[in-house]
Amino acid sequence: MSEKTPLSREQLFALEPENPALRAEYERRLAAMLETELTGYRKWAWRVAPVFFLGACVSFAVRAWHPGRLPPVGRLAFAVAAVFAAAAALQAARVAARGTLRRKADTRAATQIQLLFMVFAATVFLYSTPQMGDLPRMLQAVGIVVALLVGWVAFLVQHLLEQSELSTREQLLQLEYKLAQLGERLPPPPR
């Protein structure tokens, strides 16, 4: 009995022509799904954002640098805030220079910076509450901030663990992929 070549999907694809105009429209919509071009007021907002964050960074840095006005902890807080503002300025400048917003990557980077900053701000607030004087209000404020802080930290830890797990799995898969490619290039064993 002669061996017949089985039907392949490429043969079926070849029998079904595509309308190039419909494909172009589909690709345009898919590109918009992944990456949005900045136009109009959004373009200007992203151009102004780095300037705003850079201004905040300089302002915080000046306060952190100026000796005598603030206790060391206050100066440290402003120094860290300046680093966050610099990171936000850098991120906004990258988006503005590119002219497009990558929906997943850019929004996630912005969320991470905001979340870390909130954790930091809440920690500073907790540290400074003993100076409030009014004990019941102080306890109430501490309770709220601790609850928020626990939630944010839990979210951050979970996110970091997930990223680390994805990274490890990616490295293992890369190795497996290379081995599979090598295996496929080898000639079949003689019978």
Partner 1 sequence: MVKGAIGDVRESEQILDELLVLRCRRGDSAAWRQLIGRWDRRLLYYIRRIVSGERDAWDVLQQTWLAAFQALPSLKEPRALRAWLYRIAHRRAISHLRHAGSAPDADAGALDDVGDVPAEDDDGGAFPAEAAERVHACLARLSLAHREVLTLHFLEDVSIEEIASILGVPPGTVKSRLFHAKRALRAAIERGGAS
Distant-in-sequence, close-in-space partners of 166: CB < 8 Å, separation ≥ 6: none
Burial 57-82 (b: 16+ CB within 10 A, else e): beebbebbeeeeeeeeeebebbebbb
CB of 114 to partner 1, least distance (A): 16
Q: Cβ closer to partner 1: 37 or 170?
A: 170
- Candidates 47-55, 70-78, 132-140, 164-172: pick the segment binding partner 1 (CB under 8 A): 164-172
Residue position matching structure tokens 């300025």: 89
Q: Cβ closer to partner 1: 13 or 44?
A: 13
Per CB under 8 A, the list member of 181, 187, 189, 191 interacting with partner 1 is 181
Interface of this chain with partner 1, residues 59 to 78, rule: CB under 8 A: none
Interface of this chain with partner 1, residues 102 to 131, rule: CB under 8 A: 102, 104-105, 108
CB of 97 to partner 1, least distance (A): 16
Binding status of residue 22 toward partner 1 by CB under 8 A: yes
CA torsion, ordered 36, 88, 153, 164, to nearest 10 deg: 60
CB of 68 to partner 1, least distance (A): 45
Q: Cβ closer to partner 1: 112 or 129?
A: 112
Note the maximum CA span of the chain: 96
**Residue 187 CB neighbours (<10 A):** 5
Structure tokens at 65: 């640098």
What gap in Å lies between CA 189 and CA 191, rounded to an integer?
Answer: 6
- Phi and psi dihedrals of 54, rounded to 5? -65, -40
Binding status of residue 97 toward partner 1 by CB under 8 A: no
Structure tokens at 32: 């918009």
Binding status of residue 94 toward partner 1 by CB under 8 A: no
In the complex, the residues that contact partner 1 under the rule CB under 8 A are 4-9, 11-16, 18-19, 22-23, 25-26, 29-30, 33-35, 102, 104-105, 108, 163, 166-167, 169-170, 173-174, 176-177, 179-181, 183-184
